[in-house]
Amino acid sequence: MTEADDSHSPGEPGVAIFSDPEALADAAAERVSDALVAAVEHRGRADLATTGGSTPAGLYVRLASAALRQRVPWADVHVWWGDDRYVPRDHPLSNVFGVDEILLDEVHGVLLPLDHVHPWPTGRAIAEDLGPDWCADTYAAEARAELPLDPAGLPVFDLVLLGIGPDGHLLSVFPGSPAIGSGRLALGVPAPIHVEPHLPRVTFNPSILEAAAEIIVMVAGASKADVLARILDGPRLDPGSADGLPAQFARRSSASWLVDAAAGSQLRPRA
Ligand code: 6PG
């Protein structure tokens, strides 16, 4: 059963609460499919920036299912990543790994042209010892060359899919991150000590969320309940401060937050 509340207050995101992670993944698959279909109808192509972590796995399984595989015009879809760990693509902790294993799997996968898959160039950066900043700058240049740009020069993704961390991070933008307020579209990030995995990262600047046509944030599990309530119902904090909540960058009307009941248990009641 689904309890849904998608009413948008001005400046605030829609929030929908689902009974369990399965219902959340079902709804996310519907929303992502709709957004990809709409973008292809509108401009002949859809650019999705997806996320890492464990949360999107159920979504990818559903997108690869027969019903959705036929509905989404995959030949016109491009997949990007909002951030990644600084490891090669075939490393199990790479954010690309889940898409490669589930969505592009040769038995169950979708017919996404391989040159429409845009991983961060971590493999080359590591092999040639070019470093995370080179990797980030190269990816930023690729995004600027491939995507429409908004008046501020930011690439416009049709859909940005996000998760949040227990410290209130999104992308690899942690509280106090130098990405916040920086003019750089993408940055290398030293390995975080306070959250796992302790690996260096590469990330887009959260300013890409200002330009994105649509944002979907997926949150599951009781361990996220407290931070989710602070992000969505608490005061808007300076995201650049050490006790700020970068995930509040996605507390905007262009975003839909899809959460399961465990994660949503401390949210204020919504009409
Ligand atoms: C990463 C992510 C990060 C992630 C959240 C949620 O590379 O770690 O992009 O922002 O989405 O930490 O992760 P889980 O889904 O594993 O809880």
CATH number of 2-260: 3.40.50.1360
Tell me if 192 CB under 6 Å of ligand 1.
Answer: no
In contact, 195 and 227? CB cutoff 8 Å: no
**pLDDT score, position 8:** 62
* Contact yes or no for 20/263 (Cβ under 8 A): no
| Lowest-confidence pick of 49-58, 118-127, 244-253 | 49-58
Instruction: Return the CA Rg of the chain.
Output: 17
Tell me the average pLDDT across 153-164: 98
**From ligand 1's centre to the CA of 42, what distance in Å?**
30
- From the number of C-beta atoms within 10 Å of its C-beta (0-12, 13-18, 19+), residue 71 rates as middle
pTM listed for this prediction: 0.95
Ligand 1 near 52 CB (within 6 A): yes
Collapsing DSSP to helix, strand or coil, 68 comes out as helix
Residue pLDDT, tens place only, 195-208: 999 999 999 999 99
Nearest Cα residue to 84 out of 114, 45, 118, 109 = 118
Ligand 1 pocket, residue 170 CB under 6 Å: yes
| Cα–Cα distance for residue pair 16/13, rounded to 1 Å | 10
Neighbour tally for 128: CB within 10 Å: 10
| Ligand 1 neighbourhood includes 14 CB (under 6 angstroms) | no
Q: Which residue has the tokens 């900043």?
A: 133
Q: Percent of the chain scored above 70 by pLDDT?
A: 97
Which of 110 and 190 is assigned the larger pLDDT?
A: 190
Q: pLDDT tens digit string along 115-133?
A: 999 999 999 999 999 999 9
Best substitution site from 164, 174, 227, 257 to test ligand 1's pocket, by max atoms within 8 Å of Cβ? 164
| Ligand 1 contact via 54 beta carbon (within 6 Å) | yes
Q: Which residue has the higher pLDDT, 67 or 205?
A: 205
Peptide bond into 197 cis (omega under 30): yes
SS3 of 231-251: the string is: HHHCCCCCCCCCCCCHHHHHC
- Number of residues that this document lists for the chain: 271
Write the pLDDT tens digit of every residue in 165-190.
999 999 999 999 999 989 999 999 99
| Dihedral sign (CA 153, 160, 119, 107) | negative
- Cα of 53 vs centre of ligand 1, distance in Å, is 4
Is the pLDDT at 134 greater than 50? The verdict is yes
pLDDT band at residue 250 under the 50/70/90 scheme? very high
Look at residue 1 in the predicted model and tell me its pLDDT.
37
Domain ranges within the chain, ordered by starting residue? 2-260
Q: DSSP labels for 132-169?
A: HHHHHHHHHHHHHHHS-B-TTS-B--SEEEE---TTS-
Closest Cα to residue 211, out of 144, 121, 142? 144
What is the model's pLDDT at position 105? 77
197 CA closest ligand 1 atom index:
8
Nearest residue (by CA) to ligand 1, atom 2, is: 52
Q: Where are the alpha helices (DSSP H) in the chain?
A: 21-43, 57-63, 66-71, 97-98, 122-127, 132-146, 208-211, 225-233
Above 50 in pLDDT, residue 3? Answer: no
Please tell me if the CB atom of residue 13 comes closer than 6 angstroms to any atom of ligand 1: no
- Residue 262 has φ and ψ, to the nearest 5°, of -65, -45
Q: Would you state the structure tokens that stand for residue 75, as one six-digit string?
A: 């030949």
Mean local confidence (pLDDT), 70-92: 95
Q: Is the CB of 95 under 6 A from ligand 1?
A: yes
* Ligand 1 close to Cβ of residue 51 (< 6 A): yes
CA of 165 to the centre of ligand 1 (A): 6
Identify any residues that bridge with 48 across adjacent strands, giving them in sequence order. 79, 159
Q: Which residue has the higher pLDDT, 216 or 99?
A: 216
Question: What pLDDT digit, counting tens, does each position of 7-48 carry?
Answer: 567 789 999 999 999 999 999 999 999 999 999 999 999 999
Contact 55 CB / ligand 1 (< 6 Å): yes
d(CA 250, CA 232): 9
